[in-house]
Amino acid sequence: MGSGADEDYSKKQANQHPHNKFKLKILLLVILTNLLTIYIFTGPFTSNHLSLPLWDSATIFNDLSSTRMELAASHSIVLELHQHLNSTNLLVQALLIELTTREHHHAQHEESTAARKLSLSDTFVRGTGDSSFGLPEEVRLAIGSHKLPLGYSPRSGSDEVISPVGAGCFKFQEELVQYMTYEVGGECPIDDVFAQRLMLKGCEPLPRRRCHPKSPVNYVEPAPFPDSLWVKPSDTSIIWDPYTCKSYDCLIDRKNAPGFFDCKDCFDLQGREKNRWLFDNGRLDYGIDQVLQMKPGGTIRIGLDIGGGSGTFAARMRERNVTIVTTSMNLDGPFNSFIASRGLISMHVSVSQRLPFFENTLDIVHSMHVLSNWIPDAMLEFTLYDIYRVLRPGGLFWLDHFFCLGSQLNETYVPMLDRVGFKKLRWNAGMKLDRGKEKNEWYFSALLEKPMT
């Protein structure tokens, strides 16, 4: 959020200029820029829609060539003005941000409502907000800053600590406050669905809370390993309230139910799940053993499965002595609890979050179906760089069934993967079977490697 830097900067500025003169200057600048904008977009030349005078047909032909030249000339003037406008706008934006911060510093007793709203995240972080902001104390305790004990020399270079939360928390403040409304020391509300929606909106990580999650009644110990990998967990091991289904049998039967559910048949460990990644069809379906054989025996030891459903990839890898952490959301089902019941490690993080691993550490990253064309391109590129970051040199990225349109395949995704720097060990593309032909829908699977140097 970088508000610390803004703050320092504004403090410096504050010492150099009187407050009100500064405000006036900015106001003038805003007015000037707006006038310039109005002039450009209503003036005699605009870049896209030229309004020509209504000449008679004879003169049109005569004047055509000279008009063209004039057009070209005015077009370049417009471009130049646009560029000017762009940089002026950026300047104004920067100044406005600064002004907001200054407002907060110098006029704490006469803050305007607008300024309050703009500097709210700043207030949280610095922990200087008062009750007039209408924010519960618990929110400020959870995500405000805390002074370190005197005499303690911090490794961070700051004498305060701030609990990290997603930037989206500040954007959805009402929901944040609702999430943080509970009895301290008591039982947390059952708000899994609500909390997960908040996460998916960018409030990830969520703030910590001081309440206890409701405990399942009649909890029984999990099945012992390795049997736990393939048995149905006890129904009393979780709280069913957030889900439509109220038992694992219901979730298993869901594969026959109408309607769309995320990972619809993933809870049936005796069905399709039982055979996943065991066979290599030489096309989109790669086999785990075939992939592991690409590397010297035993050198693929630890890794990550992004969006790993009910955890079967990790289970199969565990049987081969490879430890896989599975990330999953609980969309339409208790995926995290289910994975954990199998004796596998689940992490409740979305694909948006920076991977919580150090760079050059993992032997393998796998992801099936989740990374696809629904992710905005820019965001996907950051995700791919993050995967590259956590993989060790020579580490494998198994991109399993990436869904996209035929046109996007060569235009967007192949260049993107090249740009990030992966080396292709294996590549297969194929049209989606059911309706691929009519809609030009494709999958590709790839085994990529982070270069050794």
Ligand X SMILES: *[C@@H]1O[C@H](CO)[C@@H](O)[C@H](O)[C@H]1NC(C)=O
Residues lying near ligand X in the complex (CB under 6 A) are found at: 79, 82-83, 86, 320-321, 406, 409-410, 442
User: Given the complex with ligand X, which of 97 and 190 has the nearer CB atom?
Assistant: 97
Closer to ligand X by CB, 112 or 410: give it. Answer: 410
Minimum distance from residue 405 beta carbon to ligand X (Å)? 9
Please provide residue 35's backbone torsions phi and psi, each rounded to the nearest 5 degrees.
-60, -40
CB closer to ligand X, 141 vs 414 = 414
Task: Find the shortest distance in angstroms from Cβ 73 to ligand X.
Answer: 16
Q: In terms of CB distance, is 203 or 396 closer to ligand X?
A: 396
Residue reference for tokens 């950051």? 382
CB of residue 207 vs ligand X: minimum separation in angstroms? 33
- Whether the upstream peptide bond of residue 376 has omega within 30° of 0, thus cis, is no
247: its two tokens: 């038992």
Q: Are 213 and 188 in contact (CB under 8 A)?
A: yes
Q: Looking at beta carbons only, is 323 or 361 nearer to ligand X?
A: 323
Find the shortest distance in angstroms from Cβ 32 to ligand X: 18
Only one residue has tokens 């995290």, namely 336
Q: C-beta of 373: minimal distance to ligand X in Å?
A: 13
Compare residues 188 and 409 and give the one whose CB is closer to ligand X: 409
Spell out the SS3 assignment of 299-368.
Answer: CCCEEEEECCCCCHHHHHHHCCCCEEEEECCCCCCCHHHHHHHCCCEEECCCCCCCCCCCCCCEEEEEEE
We find the least distance from the C-beta atom of residue 52 to ligand X, in angstroms, to be 23
Please identify, using beta-carbon distances, which residue of 267 and 444 lies nearer to ligand X. 444
Least gap, CB of 296 to ligand X (angstroms):
14
To the nearest 5 percent, what fractions of the chain are helix, strand and coil?
A: 45, 15, 40
Backbone angles phi, psi at 432, to 5 degrees: -65, 135
- Closest CB to ligand X among residues 3, 408: 408
Say if CB 199 and CB 206 are below 8 A apart: yes
Sequence-ordered list of residues with C-beta below 8 angstroms from that of 78, at least 6 positions apart, any chain: 40, 45, 46, 47
Nearer Cβ to ligand X (274/320): 320
CA–CA separation, 211 and 189 (whole Å): 9
Distance CA 127, CA 133 (A): 12
Q: How many residues does the chain have?
A: 453
Of the candidates 252, 232, 364, which has an alpha carbon nearest to the alpha carbon of residue 298? 364
CB of 78 to ligand X, least distance (A): 9
Cβ atoms within 10 Å of 415's Cβ, excluding its own: 10
